[in-house]
Structure 1
Amino acid sequence: MKATWEKIEKNLGVLEVEVEAERVAAALDKAFQKVVKKINVPGFRKGKVPRSIFEARFGVESLYQDAIDILLPEVYTEAVDQTEIFPVDRPEVDVEQFAKGQPFKFKAKVTVKPEVKLGEYKGIEVPAANIEVSEEELNEELTRMQERHAELVVIDEEAAQNGDTVVIDFDGSVDGVPFEGGKAERYSLELGSNTFIPGFEDQVVGLATGDFKDVTVTFPETYHAEELAGKEAVFKVKVHEIKRKQLPELDDEFAKDVSEFDTLDEYKADLKKQLESRKEKEGSAERERILVDQVGENAEVEIPQAMIDSEVENMVRDFDNRLRAQGMNLDMFLGFSGQTVEDLREQMKNDAEKRVRNNLVLEQIAKAEKIEATEEEINKELQDMADAYKRTPEEIRNILAANGSLGGLKEEVLLRKTIEFLTENAKEVPAEQFAKKTEKSEEAEKPAKKSTKKAAKADDSAAEEQNEE
């Protein structure tokens, strides 16, 4: 087989392939064995028609498409390996020649992984670690712990306010007609949680136990139920009960209830250590994010739309999996939020593009610095996964191999090592100095953006004048 690759523009090129006539004959044989099982010819049992009779009756050309379907994926993969390209999208294939006794010739337009021109990636400034926990931060954490262990106490004399949980009946209608899902009895709703249609909870604030009210709201234009989208609805609401959080006292008894310690002072000391550890991890993650984003911005790369679209789909899948882990799914989320899956994809596009850019740049840095994921490191990763899932490393390896994810594990290890390399070669500066520098950079970008907009408007005006002439 002969294969050549010619780049025609940016990340697009043509893969030209010629396959030997012998392989065409073998593909035709396989196609015949597949087709002959399905045809009926008088005088022959199904699947027993001789090849010569078949070709005389139906023509050898009737086998061509099946033979191409059998042969093309195989030789395309070989051609990709032979020319050492990295496709990132489905190819556009043009079959130029396919006939019995002749070579198979085809061309494929292929979008490939883009080339990356690295910018500065060593000595990138990052804010120095600060794990000091202030008294205010400690008190905020104590308050969160109080709220977590708060009791809901029934309030009889006061009106409902944000943060309260109200037990209500509601009965909704549009133009006087009830709609599905618009009615419930003794429903517990936390005011301020924004779980209901915008405006509903605000109108319940101020009601007292036993109060009735007609709550008027408008469904969002993007509401998942098309028959309700943009419609005004009236809910007849009755308040049965109001419950308010009652925080426990911060004392030794509280410490005993929520921890292994006997005194509040001991508990606070341990809580401070936990906060310091958390700040250290969060600070490390933030410095890595700054590093990766900066080296990504410093590099030059033109990203094919196909790679962005693919990453968006990966993000949607990951989001759905996280929702399922919480007892929801994507359809339920879209219903609650009044969005469509297209809205979600649109929101994810910028992050998807940044992810693709950063991964391409990290991959190029790994090549430039000869960073590799060793077999020992991959085995350690497999062992960690095996321990977590209570399986053997061999079982985990087989599962990943069957899912085509083993290469992804190697890439993950490689990217992590590359980020470690960037961290080791970064330059720490005081957090205040870093913040001021970031603010100056953002301010400097604003006039540039305005100038770009003005230039674009000027170009548009000039184009209009030329069209008029």
Structure 2
Amino acid sequence: MPSTVEQLSPSRVKITIEVPFADLKPSLDKAYAQIAKQVTIPGFRKGKVPPAVIDQRFGRGAVLQEAINDALPDQYSRAVVEHELNPLAQPEIEVTRLEDGDVVEFTADVVVRPDFELPDFADVSATVDPLSVDDAVVDEQIDLLRQRFGTQHDADRPAADGDIVTIDLLGRKGGEELDDATAEGIQYKVGAGGMLDGLDDAVTGLSAGESKEFTSTLVGGPLRGEEADITVTVQKVAEQELPEADDEFAQLASEFDTIDEMRADLRTRVEQMARLDQAAQARDRVLEAVIADLDFEVPESLLESETRARHEQINAQLAQAGLTLDQYLADAEEEQTAEEFWADVDTRSAQALKAQLVLDKAADELEVGVDQADLTQHLVRRAQQNNSTPEAEAQHMMEHNHTGEWMTEIRRGKALAALVAAATVTDSDGNAVDLANLRPDGSIGEAAPADDAADEAAGDAADEPATEEAPKA
């Protein structure tokens, strides 16, 4: 099976493969046997129709087409391995020569991973933000606990900042009531903000049974962004009483006997969250540093497909939320035009694809493998993220044929973890960064516990190699 490769561009090649008819014979025999089982010809038993009769009745061309399609995937795969290519998409196949009884020649035009050299990972360095835990963050956590354990008492007085009021809202525009701006029995903390502009000023000073009208901009529904007349009626005013942050409160809200012990535990938790954030930042910065030093182009066809998919996903999310892009940018207080937003999306798409190519090559050079334990841990973490079960995630993986995709994701994560472990990571103060929170698979956090159902499903998936759809002529 002689084959040659022509480099059409840094990320595209044309493979030319010649298949002698001697190599095609098993596929020809198989094609004749399959056709013989499918046809009924008087005088011959089912499945026993001779090849010569099939050629006469249906034409030799149909048999050759069937045989070539059967042989082609294996011939193509052998050529890929022989020339050490890394295809990134299905090839475009064309039969360029067919001499019956002698040889078949076909070409495969395919996008491949461009050739580039990875740096020595030990020479890679990255800088992250220093670890900082502000006392104010701990105080905020304690205040949240105090609010959770606080009590409410009806107050026979006008509403003031910090009170919990029960209110009715009635929205009108042009004198007509708006269903999307009308609600009853809503609990609202005066001064919290985030519901309707002007609501805090309107309810402040109102007692139970009193109402006030104001104008506000609607934040949802089909009239989002338009002004409407709002009438707010206070049903009840309640005063919130918060417990003192003392030893008694610590015993009520935690397993600790003193407020100092409780505060120390909260600080430890906050520090751990900060370390997780720092490890995630280190992982991203190291990969960014590697990518920045590599000069190669992402295959154009893949980039077009990726950017189109991202555009469609974002537009679908905006449509589902009832927003235009301009509305979203305004609400998010982003100082970007729509054109700048899409340009940023396209840049990120290119960076994401470049990162995938880098990690795939790193995984090849490091000979990274994925075993059943890796897949099990992945299923457990997905279950934690999606608030489901590992068994449900495993079933979803098998039903939607995600096994190959997820194993590739795991392999890239393990390659990234190895890259980060070899690199030098310091904070902006020059201190070495503790990367104990970076798991061997590249994710951040403690190791996820195994699950029997996930382990069994992962074993089933690991037994079946990931395959792509076979190329056809």
How far apart, CA to CA, are the structure 1 residues paired with 2:270 and 2:363? 34
Equivalent residue for 1:430? Answer: 429
- Whether 2:273 is the aligned partner of 1:278: answer yes
Distance in 2 separating the partners of 1:295 and 1:379? 30
RMSD: 5.3
1:336 to 321, 329, 332: 321
CA contact (8 A) 1:24 1:102 kept: no
- Which whole-Å CA distance do the structure 1 matches of 2:309 and 2:373 have between them? 26
Distance (whole Å) between structure 2 residues aligned to residue 47 and residue 337 of structure 1: 60
1:21 corresponds to 2:15: no
AA paired with 2:422? Answer: F
Distance 1:281-1:8 versus aligned 2 partners, 3 A rule: same
From 355, 376, 398, the counterpart of 1:358:
355
Structure 2's unaligned 5+ residue stretches are 326-337, 384-388, 432-473
1:202 paired to 2:197: yes
Give 1:164 deviation, angstroms. 7.2
Question: Equivalences for 1:196-345 in 2 at 5 Å?
Answer: 201-202=196-197, 206-208=201-203, 211=211, 241=235, 247-308=242-303, 335-336=320-321, 338=323
Task: Report the secondary structure of 1:202's partner residue.
Answer: coil
Output the CA distance in 1 between the equivalents of 2:155 and 2:418.
57
Q: What corresponds to 1:62 in structure 2?
A: 62
Q: Is the 8 A contact 1:119 1:295 kept in 2?
A: yes
Aligned residues: 398
- In structure 1, the partner of 2:413 is 412
What's 2:455 paired with?
Answer: none
User: More deviation in 282-291 or 234-243?
Assistant: 234-243
Displacement of 1:361 in angstroms is 3.7
Using the TM superposition, give the Cα deviation of residue 14 of structure 1 relative to its aligned residue in structure 2, in angstroms.
0.9
Q: Which amino acid aligns with 2:16?
A: E
Q: 1:68 to 1:161 in 2, by over 3 A?
A: farther
Residues 42/120 of structure 1: CA separation in 2 closer, same or farther (3 Å cut): closer
Superposition pairs for residues 115-194 of structure 1, below 5 Å? 115-118=115-118, 122=123, 124-127=125-128, 129-131=130-132, 133-147=133-147, 168=168
Give deviations 1:92-134, integer Å, cap 9, x for gaps.
2222134642422111211111222456862625257535x33
**Contact 2:375–2:407, Cα closer than 8 Å, also in 1:** no
**Deviation for aligned residue 1:421:** 0.2
Please report how far the alpha carbon of residue 34 of structure 1 lies from its aligned counterpart in structure 2 after TM superposition: 3.9
Q: Contact (CA 8 Å) 1:256, 1:263: kept in 2 or not?
A: yes
Q: TM-score if structure 2 supplies the norm length?
A: 0.62
2:343 and 2:37 map into 1 onto residues whose CA distance is 48
| Residues 161-187 of structure 1 deviation map (CA, whole Å, 9 limit, x = unaligned) | 9997866566899998999x8987667
1:460 paired residue number = none
Q: Which moved more, 1:37-46 or 1:99-108?
A: 37-46
- Name structure 1 gaps, 5 residues minimum: 195-199, 321-329, 433-469
Q: What per-residue deviation string (whole Å, max 9, x for no partner) do you get for residues 145-173 of structure 1?
A: 44555667778865799997866566899
Per the normalisation by structure 1, the TM-score is 0.63
CA distance in 2 between partners of 1:193 and 1:301 (Å): 49
Assess, with a 3 A threshold, how the Cα gap between structure 1 residues 372 and 21 changes in structure 2: closer, same or farther.
Answer: closer
Q: Deviations over 1:424-455 (max 9, x none)?
A: xx4665169xxxxxxxxxxxxxxxxxxxxxxx
State the distance in 1 between where 2:25 and 2:160 align: 81
Contact 2:159–2:165 (CA<8 Å) still a contact in 1?
A: no
Percent identical pairs in the alignment equals 22
- Please identify which structure carries the higher helix content: 1
